[in-house]
Structure 1
Amino acid sequence: MSDESHHERELGGQLLASVSRSFYLTLKALPQELREPISLAYLLARTADTIADTASVPATVRIECLNDFESLVLGGSDDVKAHLTKRITADFVAHQSDEAERRLMERFADGLAWLGTMQGAPLHAIQQVLQRIIHGQRLDIQRFPADGSLRCLQTEAELDEYTWLVAGCVGEFWTEMCAIEKPASLDPAVSLEQMKTLGARFGKGLQLINILRDIGEDIQDGRCYLPGFTPEEVQRDSRILQPAWQHWLGVCRGHLDCGLDYIRHVADAKLRYATALPLLIGVKTLSRMEKTSWDKLLQGVKINRLDVAVILAETAIACRSVESMTKLYHKLGQH
């Protein structure tokens, strides 16, 4: 058994499933050529995300550990690895209330070992996307240091930058991996750069769904991603955010429409199915949010497992043609 298949079997199964939740459905559905590099990139991104999100660890320590993790992703020294291993064990493992994230922290070095089996263009693409994601996570810690105070993003450019760094660049990476590992899977009538642009907006749309859906929880945690407000205004009455929330909902829908355009130009049916799942679950969530009162929005909105099961079944049929997929997208996203 090769190193690659060993690592994929050890880390790309139960551990990946436990930390990726519904996105594991997409990873599992990918064509074999794409499953390993994309699963690995996702696992390493989730590792960095857990480091960034462990609010009980001081912001300076989290940023230092992210810097070390980025160094190791780029091929850093054994000294850096030994130092980070000690910090992860001492400062992060015990602070994970989620069992899956605790195991992810315990096995962070195994993810790096898996990365060590990659080479050439796939390795470069994984390193590049992780650099961007980690940069976005560092920015998030600096802007929202989890010190008990509420802070707000100041400009639309800050929000757009953040959504690109933590998700839009993933759409570009996904497209690059398709071009590297399975070039016939993309419509030759559309350039790689056009697909990367659509993929970036697709990713930004999925991240905006998270931001709009989690607005109440984020405010409680001291983070307001909707720009243009003071903390005092938001704390006085969160309903002041409603017009901005509606505006960004419209931006999000525009991004998801680009996701639909992206899927229309995926020529491989298996890849089209895997790529469509997050889009269709996302647009269903968006539709539900549009129909929810502000007070209930602050409590969080999700679609349930039955909704997801129905989407899986409908997508399996609809992905056979672009026309059927388009109809399903519009049905699930009805206002």
Structure 2
Amino acid sequence: MLQLPKPPQPQKVLVSLEEAYELCRQITQKYSKTFYLGTLLMPPEKRRAIWAIYVWCRRTDELVDGPQAQYTTPETLKQWEDHLNALFSGHPLDDEDVALVDTLERFPVEISPFRDMIAGQQMDLYRSRYETFEELKLYCYRVAGTVGLMSNAVIGIEKDQVIPPWEQNQPKYIPQEEAIALGIANQLTNILRDVGEDAQRGRIYLPLEDLERFNYTQEDLFKGVIDDRWRDLMRFEIQRARQYYKDAERGIRVLSRDCRWPVWTALMLYQGILNGIEANDYDVFSKRAFVATPKKMLYLPVAWLRAQVL
């Protein structure tokens, strides 16, 4: 009798689907409290999917910024991309993957933003400076704008959009550029908040052309000099980040109605970090800007109102 070949067996027994999503929830809550708060306002199925995506993004980021980053090589990232391909073929390899594979089955997420994010981590392997903002913008897209594209697939767009007669035959508008803008705004905020921490690792993400514009040197930055030059430079960078938040706001009105409130909340909470930097007199060398919990609670009703009327 002909014996059919046995299907390949997983190398280890993975957790159940519920356990995998719970693991992703715990990781998101632990490492991104502000982001986690926003996800709690989403419908359960969407919030779980966002947790699964967040965890994959965090694992990717830790390859170059985590405790084992010194051992990461281009080959490591190539192996991680092979891992990604397995997930998009429906084959989870780790416990966290179980949740992401389920998310990929439920939502129309494309693989290209995931690959672009890995390309962003590759930039961190060989670059510690950016001459121009255009160079930095590409980096910000890859490591954060991609998150906006991943999230868009889960959040969805409003089915009952009001479309004028002359546009009835046009495809529904999908706010991809706005999603990318929000990711770039978030990453610029991270960069401004973490200037001191990055300097300790020998990295400067602020465009060198901007330092030169305000006559502020790399040596000044490594020494943590805070003077009028530095304050003017930071005001300039904060204004740029706020413009990206403003650009992102335009796309929220076409998102699925059940996710507008959490998206507004996440945007406002993260933008609030910029206010914290200003409140600290632009000291990002010895102080870490954040949004205190009481203030976070104050954002919620404002975000809800914006979700209803904007």
Q: Same fold (TM over 0.5)?
A: yes
Distance in 2 separating the partners of 1:164 and 1:255: 12
Computing the radius of gyration over CA atoms, which structure comes out larger, 1 or 2?
2
Structural mapping, 1:294-313, within 5 Å: 294-295=282-283, 298-313=286-301
Among residues 111, 116, 127, which one is paired with 1:132 in the alignment? 116
Q: Which amino acid aligns with 1:68?
A: Q
| Residues 15 and 226 (structure 1), Cα distance of their counterparts in 2 relative to 1, 3 Å cut | closer
**Contact residue 168 and residue 202 of structure 1 kept, 8 A:** yes
Runs of at least 5 residues in structure 2 that lack an aligned partner in the other structure: 1-14, 212-216
2:77 to 66, 69, 82: 66
The change in CA–CA distance for 1:112 and 1:246 in structure 2 (over 3 A counts) is same
TM-score, length-scaled by structure 2: 0.76
Say if 2:127 is the partner of 1:143. yes
Unaligned runs of 5+ in 1: 82-107, 145-151, 324-335
Distance 2:160 2:202 in 1: 43
User: For residues 193-272 of structure 1, what are the structure 2 equivalents within 5 Å?
Assistant: 195-228=175-208, 229=211, 231-232=218-219, 234-235=221-222, 238-239=225-226, 241-266=230-255, 268=257, 270-272=258-260
Q: Which amino acid aligns with 1:170?
A: V
Does residue 1:30 correspond to 2:10, yes or no?
Answer: no
State the 1:178 CA deviation. 3.3
Aligned to 1:157: 134
CA distance in 1, matches of 2:142, 2:57: 12
- Partners of 1:170 and 1:203 within 8 A in 2: yes
SS of residue matched to 1:253: helix
Query: Which letter maps to 1:160?
Result: K
**Identical pairs, percent:** 23
SS in structure 2 opposite 1:117? helix
Give aligned pairs, total: 279
RMSD over aligned Cα, in angstroms?
Answer: 3.2
The alpha-carbon deviation at position 196 of structure 1 amounts to 0.8
- Mapped contact 1:43–1:111 kept (Cα < 8 A): yes
Q: Partners of 1:187 and 1:283 in 2: how far apart?
A: 29
Do the aligned partners of 2:21 and 2:99 also contact (CA within 8 Å) in 1? Answer: no
Whole-Å Cα distance in 2 between the matches of residues 185 and 177 of structure 1?
17
Q: 1:162 to 1:36 in 2, by over 3 A?
A: same
* Structure 1 length-normalised TM: 0.71
- Is residue 253–residue 307 contact of structure 2 (8 Å, CA) maintained in 1? no
| Residue of structure 1 in register with 2:159 after alignment | 184
Is the Cα contact below 8 Å between 1:72 and 1:112 reproduced in 2?
A: no
Report the alpha carbon displacement of residue 33 of structure 1 after superposing the two structures with TM: 4.2
Contact 2:23 2:96 in 1 (8 A): yes
User: Could you say which structure has the higher helix fraction?
Assistant: 1
Give yes or no for contact 2:195–2:204 (8 Å, CA) kept in 1.
Answer: yes
Counterparts of 1:163 and 1:123 in 2: how far apart (Å)?
A: 23
Q: Secondary structure at the match of 2:86?
A: coil
